[in-house]
Structures are given as structure tokens and as C-alpha cells.
Structure 1
Amino acid sequence: MTLTQLEIFSRVAELQGFTSAALRLGISQSAVSHAIKALEQELGVELFRRHQSPIELSDIGRQLLMRARTLLGVADTLQQEACDARGMKRGTLRIGSFGPTSSNRLLPRILKRYRLQHPGIEVHVDEGPDRQVIQWLDERRIDVGFVVLEHERFDTFALFKDQMVALLPAAHPLAERPCVALKALCTDPFILTEAGSLELVSRLFDSARLTPNVRYRCSQLLSTLEAVSRGDGVSVVAQASLPETPDARYTVRPLSPPVSREVGLAVLDQRQSTPATLAFIQVAQSVDFSAAASLIEPGHLSSS
């Protein structure tokens, strides 16, 4: 059993296909097939159900995948520590990002400084809903991820705080109010954004013992903005996730009582994190996000 075989096994499991894994790894499909077959023969088990489309892990394959990722993570840490001893001139960093707040406002500023300090580190960024980033961390698919705090099972590092706001069609009666209570948002059709702060929005209504009239579920914030602009419903979103340029078709109002949201970075275990990951966290904590924070001042809450 080799680390190369385990890496190929992990890629095939992640991408659910031999061809996709070959393209990602930059090797031939036959090389992927040969590596998986050799690993299965050595272990004496079938790792995949090949008759499925896309292919699926077998029961034992799912059990072994977490072990394989753990071993690959340890190997990567060893390599990174060796690189660190040489001035961290080489290495890889895998980042998980969600929604416009982290992908558009926070990450570009961090990466600009990080690349200047560590130009030899190869950076990979995967984007998905906030709950997907959590899953990637658990499965060790990424080294560090942007999350909405708090997450007790991870080591976390706070970066930025904004607030949740009501998103309303410009002509909606609630747009005349200076602030909006959650209860007032339960009458109209509600548009739930799957990306971003889905878990936080759901918890807000649950803790208030309220049930929004969810009619739409949008995978991206842009779809939510368009639906609200058309008058299809109302929503609750994070202020910093909204475009910097106001749009007259929708109105933003603070919630009453106010609800804040804190965004930070999370790792599975700081003690096992690679030097490249720890350097990224250090750089992130040194960046001044006051420009992004200015978007949540009272004067910036109205788009009408």
C-alpha cells in the first residue's frame, strides 16, 4: 500500500468517477484503475460498487476512506513541516469557502497577502454551502474552512462580524419600517438561501418558535436577490453578503431585536494542521476587515 494509491482512492471517492479522478490528478484513467485494483487486491476487499453510475463506495470502502484521508493528512503535515524547515517554499493549502462574504469580501484580501508571503504554496479553493464546508472539514477534504461561529468540535479563529437583515421587495409594506421583527416575516412567502448562513437563519426562527412560509430554496444568493426583487417573497440574509452597490429593486432592514453573525476560520485540529494552514490563519488574523465592516453601519442598511 502506497500513499499514491491512497490519494487516488480518495480522489475517486470524492469525484465518484475514475475519469474525473484521472483528470484531476493529471494521470491516465488506466493508471487510476490499476492503482485501485492493486489496492483492492492487497486489502482483499472491493472498495467501490462499479455497477453504479456514478460509482459508489462499498460499505468497507466508506470505512476505509476516513482512515486513508487521515494518513494522507499526516503525510501532508510531514511534508509541510519539512518545507517549513526550508522556508516553506513548497506545499499545498486546501480552503473551503461559502457564500459572498467569505468568497468575495474576506478571502481575496487574505490570499493577496498570503501569496506575497508564501508564493510557493499551491492554493486550492472549494466553494459550497456553509454546511458543505463543515462536511469537508470532517472528511479532511480541506485544511481550513470559513464557517459561521460557533462550532465547538473544531478549532476556530474569529475574523469578522456583521448582522443578519431582512431582505424585502422595494414596494413591500415592511420596507416603511425602520426595523423588522422575525414574526413579521412569517406571513409572506419566504425565500431560503441554501448557501451562506442557512443554519443560522433556521436556528433564528426555531429559537423564536416561528415557522416561516418557505416557498423557495435558492442555491445562491444572487437567485434570492432576483426572487425578492421580483416580489416573489421575503428573506433573511447576512448584511456583508449583499452587493456593495445598492439595488433599488429591493430594500434591506435590520432585524428587531438585532442578530449578529460572526465569521471565522476552522480547522479540525490545530495541533495537526500543516505549517501552510497555520500561516494562512496567521495572515487572515492580521488583515484589517474594517472596510467590509463599514457596510453594516446604520447608514448602509437601506437600499431604497
Structure 2
Amino acid sequence: MTLTQLQIFSLVAELQGFTAAAARLGISQSAVSHAIRQLERELDVELLQRRQGQTELTDIGRQLLPRMRGMLGLAETVRQEAADARGMRQGTLRIGSFGPTSSMRLLPAILAQYRALYPGIEIHIDEGPDRQVLQWLQDRRIDAGFVVLPEPSFDTYPLLEDQMVAVLPVGHPLAAKPSVSLAELCGDPFVLTEAGSAELVSHLFQAARLQPLVRYRCAQLLSTLEIVASGEAVTLVAEMALPRTPYPGGYVSRPLSPPVTRRVGLAVLSEAEASPAARAFMQLATRLQREGGLTG
């Protein structure tokens, strides 16, 4: 069993196809197929199945995938610790991000300084819903991820705190109020966004034993805001997720009553096992947070 075989298997599983994995790696499809056959032959199990043109993990393949990704992560940590002894001149850092708060408010400031300090570190960024970032961390697909706190399953580093706000169409009766309650948001169609606060929003309503009239579910915040601006629904999002300069006449935001805060931070599966590149990213982010460099 080689690290190359494990890398190919992990990528085929991620992309759900031999052709896509071959294109990503820049090798032939036959080379990908050969590596998978060799790995399956050595383990004496079938890891992948092809059904109607799609590639799916077998039960044992699904069970072994996190362990193999863990082995790849450990190998990368070993390489980076060796590079760290030489001044961390090379390595890879995989980051998971969600929505505008982390992707537009936090990441640019951190990355600008990180790249200046460690130009040899290759950075990969995947963006998805907040719950997806948690799954990527658990599956070891990323080294560090932005998450909504608290997250007791991971080692976390708080970076930012803001408040949840109701977002309403201009001219909505609730827009005339200084603040809005959760119960008041249950009287209109509701649009739920996956862009960073979906779990928190759902938990807030459940804890209050309220049921919003969810009529829309959007993966992107801009789609959510467009629906609100059109007068079709109301929503609840984090204040710092909103654009700094919303288009005029589109929507208004009002704080919740009682107020609800949201905390955002970085998370790693284990600080003790984090690679030098990931630890350096965490240390830089927390330093910028202390110095006020992440609130601009």
C-alpha cells in the first residue's frame, strides 16, 4: 500500500469518478484504475463499485476512507514538520470556509499575511454550508475550518462575534420596529439560507418551540436577500454576513429581541495532530484577532 494509491482512492471517492480524478491528478484514467485495483488486491476487498456510469463506495470503502485520509494527513504532517525545520518553505494547507462572514470578512486579511510569511505553502480553499465544513473536518478532507461556535468535537479558536438580525422587505410592517422577536418572524413565508447560520437559526426556533413557515431554502446568501427584497419572504441571518453596501430599496435588517449573538472561529480536528502549516494559520488568525485586524 502506497501513499499514491491512498491519494488516488481518496480523490476518486471525493469526485465520484475515475475520469474526474485522473483529470485532477494529470494522469491517465488507466493509471487511476490500476492504482485502485492494486490497492483492492492488497487489501483483498472491493473499495469502489461502478453502477450506471457512477462510482460509489462500498460499505468497507466508506469505512476505510476516513482512516486512509488520516494516514495521508499524518504523512503530510511529517513532511511539513521536516519542512518546518528548514523554515517551512513548502507544504499544503486545506481550509474549509462558509458564507460571506468567513470567506469575505475573515479569510482575506488572514491569507494576505499568511502568504507573505509562508510563500511556499500551497493553499486550497473549499467553501460550503457550515455543516459541510464540519463534515470535511471530521473526514480529514481539510486541515482547518471556519465554524460557528461552540463546537465541542473539535479544538477551536474564537475569532469574531456578531448578532443575528431579521432581514425584512422594505415596507414590511415589522420594519418600522426597532427590534423583532422570533415569534413575529413566524407570520410570513421564511427563507432559510445555508450560508453559515442554518444550524443556529434552526436551533433558535426549536429552542423557542416555534415553527417558521419555511418556503425557500437557498445555498447562497445573495439568493436569500434577493427573495427578501422581492417581498416574497423574511429571513434571519448574522449581521456580518450582510453586504457592507446593500443595494438601496432592497431590504432592511433589525436586531432580534431578545438579542442573539453568533460566534465564529477556526477549528481543527486535533491541535496536537495539526500540521505546522495549520498551526501557523491558527496562530496568525488569533494574533490578528487580538490586534483587531479581523474586524475591518
Which 5+ residue runs of structure 2 have no aligned equivalent? none
Q: Say whether residues 1:163 and 2:163 are aligned partners.
A: yes
**2-side partners of 1:191 and 1:103: how far apart?**
21
Q: Structure 1 CA distance, aligned partners of 2:45 and 2:56?
A: 14
Q: How does 1:25-40 map to 2 (within 5 A)?
A: 25-40=25-40
Aligned-pair CA distance for 1:292: 6.3
Q: What residue number does 2:274 align with?
A: 273
Aligned length: 294
2:283 paired residue number: 282
**Cα distance in 2 between the residues matched to 1:36 and 1:212:** 48
**1:300 aligned residue:** none
Q: Is the 8 A contact 2:109 2:293 kept in 1?
A: no
Q: State the TM-score, normalizing by the size of structure 2.
A: 0.97
Aligned to 1:302: none
TM-score by length of 1: 0.94
Instruction: State whether residues 180 and 254 of structure 2, in contact with CA within 8 Å, keep that contact through their aligned partners in structure 1.
Output: yes
Q: Identity across aligned pairs (percent)?
A: 65
The 8 Å contact of residues 240 and 292 in structure 1, kept in 2 or not, is answered as: no
Residue 245 (str. 1) matches residue 249 (str. 2): no
Alpha-carbon contact 1:94-1:123 (below 8 Å) kept: yes
Structure-1 separation of matches of 2:292 and 2:162: 11
CA distance in 1, matches of 2:245, 2:294: 13
- The unaligned stretches of length 5 or more in structure 1 are 295-304
The whole-number CA distance in structure 2 between the counterparts of 1:222 and 1:155 is: 31
Question: Matches of 1:292 and 1:33 in 2, distance apart?
Answer: 46
Which SS does the other structure have where 1:102 is aligned?
A: helix
Q: How does 1:77-88 map to 2 (within 5 A)?
A: 77-88=77-88
Give the structure 1 partner of residue 141 of structure 2: 141
Q: Please say if residues 167 and 234 of structure 1, whose CA atoms lie closer than 8 Å, have aligned partners that are also in contact.
A: yes
**CA distance in structure 2 between the aligned counterparts of 1:51 and 1:222, rounded to whole angstroms:** 37
Q: How far apart are 1:293 and its partner, in Å?
A: 4.3
RMSD: 1.2
SS in 2 for 1:146: strand
CA deviation map 1:206-252 (0-9, x unaligned): 11111101011011100000000000010000100110003321000
- Whether the aligned pair in 1 keeps the contact of 2:96 and 2:136 (CA below 8 Å) is yes
CA contact (8 A) 2:12 2:20 kept: yes
Q: In structure 1, what is the Cα distance between the partners aligned to 2:197 and 2:26?
A: 35
**Is the Cα–Cα contact under 8 Å of residues 100 and 195 in structure 2 kept in the other structure?**
no
Task: Give the superposition deviation at 1:44.
Answer: 1.2
